[in-house]
Structure 1
Amino acid sequence: MDATKAKSIIDIHCHTAGIGAGNSGCFISPAMRRSWRYRVFLKAFGVTEQELLSEGDGLVMRRTAETLAVSERVTAAVILAMDGAVDEKGELDRSQTEMFIPNEFVAAETAKYPNLLFGASINPLRRDALDRLEWAAANGAVLVKWLPSIQHFDPADRRLVPFYQKLRELGLPLLTHTGSEKSFTATRNELADPERLRLPLSLGVNVIAAHAASNGRNQGESNHRRFLRLCGEYQNLYADISALTQLNRLTHLRRLLKHPELFGRLLYGTDMPIPNTAAVTPLGFPNRLSPRRMLQIASIPNPWDQDVALKEALGVPEQIFFNANSIIRL
């Protein structure tokens, strides 16, 4: 890898959305569309439902790429597909899926923009999961993203061993949600217990714990403590720092940064479009930053530049912003 790429900041945790417009194959469940979250997310992505119906779901990624292109700090972003729950036949179960963003759509759209990277999502209980994984790798996927609490599978299920072995063979890291999930209307948060990641870790998969298991509890113990214990046992366990500046997680980043032994395994991420919502504001840190500094950061127009500046001000060392270059498959 050349020196320029090694010093590029890559956001490894960026979402997209779609309602099925333009034959994208995306869908959002009726329950989710009735939820207040739906309106918030559309606004955060900078689109309206009418615009999507007129121009197609690819509009979200086009605007993401345009906004990212004028960032002075962040070079590229991994755009994450979102697979759904599956039925007993290993086929997509729409009745149990709140949001579906197919790999084919994300792969095709990200290929149009040099600053967007393809993050695949494959429910490992799909009948053809291994074929889908091979396809994703062949079509430029840089990682595989899971959200077990809404995709309804257990990462500790030994039926997933062949999937994990294929991930390792292909050199694809697994980015999987850890901790409580509150962005959907129904979740099984016990499935995002970091302790359930022992199986892929033991098989040598590079696992990235999204949000560093910063919230929630399992078996009477904080998920964050369970995550830290695993870090001590497995050098192939990483984490991203996305969402850790949200108002409901104000102490989480500071707590994580008390572990400098992990700095080589922490990766930069935003959880975009969350930084475009009221859940994240530089004005939420009066106990850490001066009023002048908070206002200065809040005045930065580009959301990626603002996010980097806020995390720098809160003590994130330079190394963490560049770690993704050596982890994800470019």
Structure 2
Amino acid sequence: MKKFIFIIILTLTTSFMFSRDHALDHLDPGIGKTIIDTHVHVAGLGYGDSGCFVNSEMHDNFRFPVYLWAMNVSEEELVKKGDQILITRLSESLSHSRSVKQAVILAMDGYVDTSGENAGKLNKTKTQVYVPNEYIAKETSRYDNLLFGASIHPGRKDALARLRKVKQQGAVLVKWIPSIMNIDPSNKQYKEFYELMAELKMPLLSHAGMEKSFSHAVDEYADPERLKYALELGVTVIAAHIATTGENEGQDNFSRIIPMLHKYPNLYADISSLTQINKLNYLSRALEDDVIKSKMIYGTDWPLQFFPLMSPWYHINHISISDAFHVGGIRNQWDRDVALKKALRVPDDVFKRSVIDLIK
């Protein structure tokens, strides 16, 4: 407890005393405003005809108001201005970054029943967060610094048609959180969907590892080894968070994905959320492996970059006190994330690599 209070004091002191835009100079990756953030979430309540919704379980969860605060909106503003105000403010914040040029904004398909009379249909009761493709495709087209990340449950009856459509709309990837969407990635019934993904050169960004951002999750579906079927069918897969946290079959997920990254040339991993307090030391461990470093893609997991979820002072065993002060003094959250990962010795090549490189 004393250590945590000390970190709180240091974080607040840093923010007030060293809040300077030029603080990034010390830890700039040196590639200018070129970075693409592959992993950015949004949500909504259906205002402005967005089609978004959050079920009552998630809406009443203690996390929900925190997420709205982190996204710099209130529920009252969504009611008055529509869910679109969130994306407008996100784009504005990103425009002030000195290092991140664009961000992939992720749609989120819901919980789809895979058996019974409702198989292939969206189950709104069990869907915790829903952000439709049409909404994200439309809103991202309005901003030069936003890219469309689609989300399609492969068990939908019209999954193949949806996949073709989002490709035409300019989607750069398909996003899954299997543990809340009722997706078993190893399900052989998804063969045609995977084959079409490979044909269309549509990467799959799939959450891997334990999920704690929602009210409940089926964590075995996020076992990285369940992604092998997609990989073997030629899909380019980006395992979010390098499968950090949680375990399956008595082995931690991070250890399970390491040999996969060595084996499959079409498997990558994003480094989003790896500076959070619940994932300490994983990034430094991953950086010890040259193969994993060559597979890393930059991402933040926005908006999950706020204190006390993350602070440069949590990483004082890997970065200098001077760097902790510098990082803590950076106002823009994208620049702060880049600077912290740079201080943790993430190579410049990782910041240069993006999902766009994977779809060429």
Under TM normalisation by the shorter chain, which class is it?
over 0.9
Does 1:67 find its partner at 2:97?
no
Structure 1: stretches of 5+ with no match in the other structure: none
CA distance in 2, matches of 1:208, 1:325: 9
1:172 is matched with which residue: 172, 197, 202? 202
CA distance in 2, matches of 1:173, 1:260: 23
Deviation, structure 1 residue 92: 0.9
Residue pairs, 1:224-235, within 5 angstroms: 224-235=254-265
Give the deviation of 1:260 after TM superposition.
1.2
Counterpart amino acid of residue 146 in structure 1: W
1:189 maps onto 2:219 in alignment: yes
Are the equivalent residues in 1 in contact too, given 2:44–2:54 (CA < 8 A)? yes
Per-residue deviation, 1:93: 0.5
- Alpha-carbon distance in 1 for matches of 2:76, 2:193: 39
What is the SS of the residue equivalent to 1:94?
coil
Where does 1:75-94 land on structure 2 (aligned, <5 Å)? 75-87=101-113, 88-94=118-124
Give me the whole-angstrom Cα distance separating, in 1, the residues matched to 2:303 and 2:112: 27
Alignment: residue pair count: 326
Aligned-residue RMSD, C-alpha:
1.5
Q: Take 1:276 and 1:22, find their aligned partners in 2: how far apart are those partners?
A: 27
Percent identity, aligned pairs only? 46
- State the match for 1:12 in structure 2: 38
SS in 1 for 2:294: helix
Q: Quick one: distance in 2 between partners of 1:7 and 1:171?
A: 26
Matched, 1:220 2:246: no
Alignment of 1:147 with 2:173, yes or no, is: no
1:156-200, CA deviations, whole angstroms, 9 ceiling, x for partnerless residues?
Answer: 000000000110111110000000000111100000001101111
Take 2:70 and 2:221, find their aligned partners in 1: how far apart are those partners?
28
Structure 1 residue aligned with 2:320, among 290, 301, 314?
Answer: 290
Picking from 56, 59, 63, the partner of 1:37 is 63
Look up the equivalent residue of 2:261 and give its one-letter code: C
Partners of 2:147 and 2:359 lie apart in 1 by 10
Q: Which residue of 1 aligns with 2:20?
A: none
SS state at 1:276 partner: coil
Q: Which has the larger radius of gyration?
A: 2
Matched, 1:236 2:266: yes
The one-letter amino acid of 1:242's match is S
Once the 2 structures are TM-superposed, how far is the Cα of residue 261 of structure 1 from its aligned partner? 1.7
Structure 1 partner of 2:286: 256
Q: In 2, distance between residues paired with 1:46 and 1:154? A: 34
Report the alpha carbon displacement of residue 91 of structure 1 after superposing the two structures with TM: 1.3
* Deviations 1:69-100, CA, capped at 9 Å, x for gaps: 01000000000000001133311110110000
- Offset of residue 325 of structure 1: 5.3
Of 227, 232, 237, which aligns to 1:202?
232
Letter in 1 for 2:140: T
TM-score, normalisation: structure 1: 0.96
Distance in 1 between the 2:242 and 2:321 partners?
28
Structure-1 residue corresponding to 2:27? none
The Cα of 1:211 is off from its aligned counterpart by 0.3
Unaligned runs of 5+ in 2: 1-30
Letter of the 2:74 counterpart: T
Q: Displacement, 1:225? A: 1.1
Pair 1:222–1:100, CA change in 2 (3 A)? same
**Distance in structure 2 (CA, Å) of the matches to 1:238 and 1:290:** 29
Q: CA deviation at 1:264?
A: 2.0
Partner of 1:161: 191
1:307 corresponds to = 337
Give the TM-score, by structure 2 length. Answer: 0.88
- C-alpha distance in 2, partners of 1:133/1:91? 16
- Tell me the amino acid that sits aligned with residue 52 of structure 1: L
CA distance in 2, matches of 1:70, 1:6: 13
Within 2, Cα distance between the matches of 1:233 and 1:35?
40
The AA in structure 1 aligned to 2:134 is E
CA-CA distance at 1:288 after TM superposition: 2.1
Secondary structure of 1:12's partner?
strand
* Alpha carbons 1:40, 1:277 under 8 Å: kept: no
* 1:108 counterpart letter in structure 2: K
